[in-house]
Amino acid sequence: MQITLDNIGRRFNREWIFKGITYTFNQHGSYAILGPNGSGKSTLLQVLNGSLVQSAGKLSYLMDGKNIEPEDIFNYLSLAAPYLELIEEFTLNEMVDFHFKFKTYKAGINKAALTDILNLKGSGDKMIRYFSSGMKQRLKLALAFCADTPMLMLDEPTSNLDNQGIDWYLNLVEKFSADRLTIISSNQEHEYSFCKEQLRIADYK
């Protein structure tokens, strides 16, 4: 998947959060969107994943030489973000089954393997509501990494994770991000140091 931004801007009311972004996210590339708190990283990620519409400019998606419409882009995307909630009333098994009604597992992964990755064997009937915040974050990440989509977008991927959780995240990056466009919105170096490209929001104010 390739995403091309032509003079993209987004404002809320009269305030431009960023403007004039002309940039290409290439297929299979790894990108970090960087900037301090409140600079607009999440806003840009939401524009890229089609959940917010840009206020200016043109955004286009290309997959194997074919244009994809922004309203269809969710079919090609795995996303983990603080504003994307798990369904607290579901058990772990129900949450995984629900998620993979809409997505396909990566090769070699199934529900048992995913629960194994989470280190939650035997907790399939536990309700998400009773998971710790770190456990919920791990689940969001595992659902995103283990879905077979050409795009992976992660917003603040290690929030609520301890040092062990950060190593666990980096292990998933190694295993599941190589063959897809990966975009991380972050201001913590350990989350994005593997990314080959960096886009700084401050350059587009």
Ligand X SMILES: Nc1ncnc2c1ncn2[C@@H]1O[C@H](COP(=O)(O)OP(=O)(O)OP(=O)(O)O)[C@@H](O)[C@H]1O
Choose among 61, 4, 8, 30: nearest CA to 152.
30
Stretch that binds ligand X, among 35-43, 61-69, 125-133, 157-165 (CB under 6 A): 35-43
* Residue pair 35/184 in contact by the 8 Å Cβ criterion: no
- Minimum Å distance from CB 23 to ligand X? 17
DSSP 180: S
Site for ligand X in 43-72 (CB under 6 A): 43
Query: Is there binding between residue 37 and ligand X (CB under 6 A)?
Result: yes
Residue type, 117: I
- Minimum Å distance from CB 9 to ligand X? 13
- Quick one: 35 or 150, whose CB is closer to ligand X? 35
- Quick one: 15 or 64, whose CB is closer to ligand X? 15
Residue with tokens 């077979």: 148
Stretch that binds ligand X, among 39-47, 62-70, 89-97, 101-109 (CB under 6 A): 39-47
Stretch that binds ligand X, among 32-40, 121-129, 144-152, 169-177 (CB under 6 A): 32-40
* Residue pair 82/160 in contact by the 8 Å Cβ criterion: no
- Minimum Å distance from CB 187 to ligand X? 6
Choose among 68, 74, 69: nearest CA to 46.
74
* Residue pair 118/75 in contact by the 8 Å Cβ criterion: no
Choose among 3, 163, 150: nearest CA to 79.
150
Point out which residues bind ligand X (CB under 6 A).
12, 17, 35, 37-43, 187
